[in-house]
Amino acid sequence: MGAGELVRIVDRRRPRHVDTPILVVEDDPHLLGMLVLLLEEGDYPLVAVADGLEAMQSLQVSRPSLVILDLNVPYVNGDEVGVRIRARYGRTLPIILVTASRHGAEIAEALEAEYLPKPFNVDELLTVVWRCLDQC
């Protein structure tokens, strides 16, 4: 291997392949872009949206395998999106709530969702994603 070549490390913790997309709901374009790149690198199918209204529209079209949900998104807030997900799918659809809100842990508990406070690191995110996908 020459200098500067990329070395790819295979992580054996990776969950089974999913055919239905992961829905990512994040209004910060930089964080949304990072999440998309990270999950696409793992060959996960994705639907990425920037607000709660788009999230609700996407949920009307198809059921994702997992929802990564920011709490503070425009039009329909993340906690309302989470409530609607639970009303429609119960606990069968895993939710990862990512937020800098000081109420994030309480809201995640009420939604029976995983909670990942911002800022988070990539390893934390992937660990929670894999755990959720292993449970679907």
In a domain, 8, yes or no: no
pLDDT at position 134 is 86
Rounded to two decimals, the pTM is: 0.87
Looking at residue 121, which CATH number applies to its domain? 3.40.50.2300
Q: Tens of pLDDT along 16-75?
A: 678 899 999 999 999 999 999 999 988 899 999 999 999 999 999 999 999 999 999 999
In a domain, 125, yes or no: yes
- Sequence-distant (6+) residues with CB within 8 A of 59 are 23, 81, 84, 85, 88
In a domain, 40, yes or no: yes
What is the four-CA torsion angle of 97, 99, 104, 107, rounded to 10 degrees? Answer: -40
In a domain, 123, yes or no: yes
Number of domains into which the chain is organized: 1
